[in-house]
Structure 1
Amino acid sequence: MDENSTSVAAELAHVTEHWTPRVIGRVNDQYVKVAKLLGELVWHAHDAEDEMFLVVSGSLLLQFEDRPDVRLEPGEFYVVPRGVRHNPVAEEEVEIVLIETVTTAHTGDVVVAGTVPIEAQERHRADDATPAAGGTGR
């Protein structure tokens, strides 16, 4: 593997807690993150940013207040538009890639005990020796 490439599987192997996104790269003003999910997070919205969920393994249910729910299987993705209240639900462990604007708060307009500040999500990059995608280092 090239020193500037990143293995999603290897990055997911470093994730030890559910609902704790880990920044693995940056494309312009977007973070590429990985996370493992189990159970429910919290109903929330991101007023200024869209959020993309790409399922790597497992099955993810995205619940919505104003539209039909969406179930994603491995290899499928969905973009939650800004301002749309949603609740991700993982009935079994799900591994995902998230693509979010760098300003996107973990739980949007809601802060709960499990909310992970962006600084903690970014810190993982500095803790690892492997370079991030795009050669930004960690």
Structure 2
Amino acid sequence: MHAAIDLAAKLATFTEAFQPRTVALFNGHDVMVAKLRGDYHWHVHDDTDDFFLVLDGRVEIDLEDGSTVTLDPGQMFVVPKGMRHRPRAQGEAHILLIEPTGTPNSGDPLTAAPRRVI
């Protein structure tokens, strides 16, 4: 069956921050939604870029060079592979992520959130 994916409805199914949920598959990639609140830890993805699209709220992404990228709804940023970064949000923000299936959100399989499909 073919149907549109309602991202707001998917986001309403959970409350946890920094726990992405896969909502679709796209050419070997997970399309995910996540909620952000507060600071995530510094991390790096050695083998893949990190795609962020803000759906609601404001997200700041601190980069290892000392700069910060600020994203409002409708804005996106791609963190290049190998660059340490830390996403954070004052209050709550909702984002869409696209990553190769199996990519640990923390950059480390031992500390990554489990893959959840909704």
* TM-score past 0.5 threshold: yes
Letter of the aligned partner of 1:12 in structure 2?
Answer: L
Aligned partner of 1:64 in structure 2 is: 63
Q: Secondary structure at the match of 2:9?
A: helix
Aligned partner of 1:42 in structure 2 is: 41
Q: Structure 2 unaligned runs (5+)? A: none
Pair 1:58–1:96, CA change in 2 (3 A): same
Q: Secondary structure at the match of 2:67?
A: coil
Identity of aligned residues (%): 40
Alpha-carbon distance between aligned partners in 2 of 1:53 and 1:80, rounded to the nearest angstrom: 8
Aligned partner of 1:54 in structure 2 is: 53
Letter of the aligned partner of 2:33 in structure 1?
Answer: V
Aligned partner of 1:22 in structure 2 is: 21
Pair 1:30–1:110, CA change in 2 (3 A): closer
Q: CA RMSD in A?
A: 1.7
Q: Secondary structure at the match of 1:53?
A: strand
Aligned partner of 1:116 in structure 2 is: 113
Deviation track 1:30-71 (CA, whole Å, cap 9, x = no partner) reads 110001110011100000011111000100000011252100
Letter of the aligned partner of 1:42 in structure 2?
Answer: H
Residue 110 of structure 1, CA deviation? 7.6
Pair 1:24–1:54, CA change in 2 (3 A): same
The total of aligned residue pairs comes to: 118
Would the aligned equivalents of 1:50 and 1:101 in 2 still touch at CA under 8 Å?
no
Q: Secondary structure at the match of 2:104?
A: coil
Alpha-carbon distance between aligned partners in 2 of 1:76 and 1:55, rounded to the nearest angstrom: 6
Pair 1:93–1:87, CA change in 2 (3 A): same
Q: Secondary structure at the match of 1:107?
A: coil
Runs of 4+ in 1 over 4 A off after TM superposition: none
TM-score by length of 2: 0.91
Deviation track 1:62-115 (CA, whole Å, cap 9, x = no partner) reads 001125210000000001111110000111100110011113111004854xx3
Alpha-carbon distance between aligned partners in 2 of 1:111 and 1:89, rounded to the nearest angstrom: 21
Q: Which has a greater percent of strand?
A: 2
